[in-house]
């Protein structure tokens, strides 16, 4: 129902602003794939991903569950966008042919640097401030065959020294800044407006330490 303040709309996309992660997975031939994804959310030590069924990433995780979830920051938006028209799938699936092309060396194409992981085969992306080594534990079909929901258990977290509250295990939310995909536009975070009642960093954060 249309009211004075809201219209009924049928937008072509519903990407209302979620962080961009770069997923590294292992291909059949032992090389590594790298793909941007914004359907990612965390609960406890799990991250759940929404992956198109035809992506090389989904295929890789179906047979080799190890991955790294590399969380991007705003300064990496151009590298992310260089990956946007690429797929590690060859041949390129029919549904993607009009827009996508195959690329074997995604790191080279994006200008990003692989760094060895500790507990999984796929590499970390050195330029990302947060790198989550993980293992896909459950892959559930959804969207009438369109996508897979992939539950990933995070095994090890690597954080850039600069985003860690010194002497603690905490990420400093006043320093960490995720890249946000907002209706196909890239954003950083706006300044903090408040904090949750369970914040463990409020005293040391933007309204205290700096």
Ligand X SMILES: Cc1cc2nc3c(=O)[nH]c(=O)nc-3n(C[C@H](O)[C@H](O)[C@H](O)COP(=O)(O)O)c2cc1C
Question: Which residues contact ligand X (rule: CB under 6 A)?
Answer: 20, 33, 35-39, 50-52, 55-57, 80, 84, 87-89, 100, 181
Of 7, 22, 8, which Cα lies nearest the Cα of 134? 22
The whole-angstrom separation of Cα 201 and Cα 32 is 36
Q: Toward ligand X, which CB reaches closer, 55 or 174? A: 55
Task: Give the shortest CB-147-to-ligand X separation in angstroms.
Answer: 6
Q: Toward ligand X, which CB reaches closer, 187 or 195? A: 187
Query: Per the structure block, which two tokens stand in for 97?
Result: 């042919």
Contact 194, 31 (CB under 8 A): no
Q: Toward ligand X, which CB reaches closer, 73 or 87? A: 87
Task: Give the shortest CB-37-to-ligand X separation in angstroms.
Answer: 4
Task: Give the shortest CB-172-to-ligand X separation in angstroms.
Answer: 25
The whole-angstrom separation of Cα 189 and Cα 14 is 19
Q: Toward ligand X, which CB reaches closer, 109 or 154? A: 109
Task: Give the shortest CB-201-to-ligand X separation in angstroms.
Answer: 28
The bridge status of strand 101-102 relative to strand 86-87 is: parallel
């Amino acid at each position: 129902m249309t009211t004075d303040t809201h219209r009924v709309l049928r937008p072509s996309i519903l990407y209302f602003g979620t962080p961009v992660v770069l997923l590294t997975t292992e291909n059949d031939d032992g090389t590594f794939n790298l793909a941007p994804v914004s359907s990612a959310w965390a609960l406890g030590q799990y991250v759940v991903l929404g992956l198109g069924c035809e992506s090389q990433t989904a295929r890789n995780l179906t047979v080799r569950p190890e991955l790294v979830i590399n969380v991007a920051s705003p300064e990496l938006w151009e590298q992310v966008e260089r990956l946007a028209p690429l797929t590690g799938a060859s041949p390129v699936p029919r549904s993607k042919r009009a827009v996508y092309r195959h690329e074997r060396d995604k790191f080279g194409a994006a200008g990003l640097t692989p760094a060895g992981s500790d507990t999984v085969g796929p590499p970390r992306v050195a330029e990302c401030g947060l790198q989550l080594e993980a293992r896909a534990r459950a892959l559930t079909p959804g969207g009438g065959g369109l996508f897979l929901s992939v539950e990933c258990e995070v095994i090890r977290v690597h954080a850039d020294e600069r985003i860690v509250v010194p002497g603690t295990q905490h990420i400093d939310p006043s320093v960490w800044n995720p890249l946000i995909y907002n209706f196909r536009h890239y954003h950083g975070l706006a300044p903090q407006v408040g904090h949750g009642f369970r914040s463990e960093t409020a005293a040391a954060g933007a309204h205290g330490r700096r």
